[in-house]
């Protein structure tokens, strides 16, 4: 695995192949031009990717925990099974992005554009989606426990009905909490640490589970766990 954690600035590398690289810590990749690039299985934990251009890039199973992605362009990028726990995605553009099975636990998605994004089976546990755009985003099987969606834009009832949540999930006043969601009193469904979550799982299995089963309980007891902290 290449270790690029001490790299100062990497720029002008559209279609670059950095798959499997380690760019953790102080790697400064702000404003990087890597559209269509291959960054799959890359460790970018804590890196500065603010205002990066990563449209249609392959970031499959990449570790982006705590990464600064403020204002980054990730339109139509492949972020399936990617770890984005605690990442700052304020005003990031994720239109049409593939976030299938991704973990955005505790992420800041304030004013992020997620219109048309595929969030099937993704974890948004404790995420801040203040004024985030979710028009036509696919939330099928997504875990919204503790997420703040109260001012999310473009969110409709069908999206909420297809997702999982709990008593801590904050919804816009015009939307109704599904009866199948767990309540605030069901303490056994509340994770002790919402920033610890399974980084990779199989949403197709979830479709066969009873709707009353919370996604967190499902992750903890049914699936082999890959916990990333």
What is the pLDDT of the chain when averaged over all its residues? 76
* 208 compared with 178, residue with greater pLDDT: 178
Tell me whether residue 77 is in a domain: yes
Q: Total domain count for the chain?
A: 1
Reported confidence tier of residue 34, pLDDT bands at 50, 70, 90 = low
Has residue 121 got a pLDDT over 60? yes
**Mean per-residue pLDDT, 170-186:** 84
Closest of 107, 142, 151, 136 to residue 123, by C-alpha: 142
Tell me whether residue 96 is in a domain: yes
| pTM for this model (two decimals) | 0.73
Residue 223 confidence (pLDDT): 33
**Mean per-residue pLDDT, 4-21:** 44
- How many other C-beta atoms are found inside a 10 Å radius of the C-beta of residue 219? 20
Tell me whether residue 69 is in a domain: yes
**Mean per-residue pLDDT, 167-181:** 93
204: three-class secondary structure by DSSP: helix
Tell me whether residue 136 is in a domain: yes
Assign residue 24 the CATH number of its domain.
2.160.20
* 226 compared with 185, residue with greater pLDDT: 185
Tell me whether residue 85 is in a domain: yes
Residue 8 confidence (pLDDT): 36
Residue 207 confidence (pLDDT): 36
For 199-212, the pLDDT digits (tens) are 333 333 333 333 32
Closest of 95, 13, 89, 5 to residue 56, by C-alpha: 95
Has residue 43 got a pLDDT over 60? yes
Residue 36 confidence (pLDDT): 65
Q: Where in the chain does DSSP place strands (E)?
A: 197-198, 227-228
Tell me whether residue 166 is in a domain: no
* 23 compared with 219, residue with greater pLDDT: 23
Tell me whether residue 110 is in a domain: yes
Closest of 62, 73, 64 to residue 34, by C-alpha: 73
Q: Which two tokens stand for residue 135?
A: 């028009």
Structural domain for 73, as ranges: 17-152
For 45-57, the pLDDT digits (tens) are 998 999 999 999 9
Tell me whether residue 167 is in a domain: no
């Amino acid at each position: 695995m290449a270790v690029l954690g001490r790299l100062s600035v990497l720029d002008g590398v559209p279609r670059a192949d950095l798959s499997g690289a380690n760019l953790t810590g102080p790697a400064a990749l702000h404003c990087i031009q890597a559209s269509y690039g291959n960054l799959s299985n890359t460790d970018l934990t804590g890196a500065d990717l603010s205002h990066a251009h990563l449209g249609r890039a392959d970031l499959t199973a990449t570790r982006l925990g705590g990464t600064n992605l403020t204002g980054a362009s990730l339109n139509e990028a492949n972020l399936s099974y990617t770890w984005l726990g605690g990442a700052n995605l304020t005003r990031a553009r994720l239109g049409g992005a593939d976030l299938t099975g991704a973990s955005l636990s505790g992420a800041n998605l304030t004013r992020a554009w997620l219109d048309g994004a595929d969030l099937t089976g993704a974890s948004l546990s404790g995420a801040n989606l203040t004024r985030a755009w979710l028009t036509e985003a696919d939330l099928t099987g997504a875990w919204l426990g503790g997420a703040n969606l109260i001012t999310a834009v473009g969110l409709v009832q069908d999206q909420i009905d297809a997702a999982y949540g709990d008593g801590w999930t904050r919804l816009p006043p015009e939307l109704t909490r599904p009866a199948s969601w767990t309540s605030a009193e069901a303490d056994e469904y509340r994770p002790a640490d919402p920033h610890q979550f399974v980084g990779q799982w199989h949403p197709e299995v979830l479709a066969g589970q009873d709707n009353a089963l919370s996604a967190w309980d499902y992750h903890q007891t049914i699936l082999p766990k890959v916990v990333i902290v």
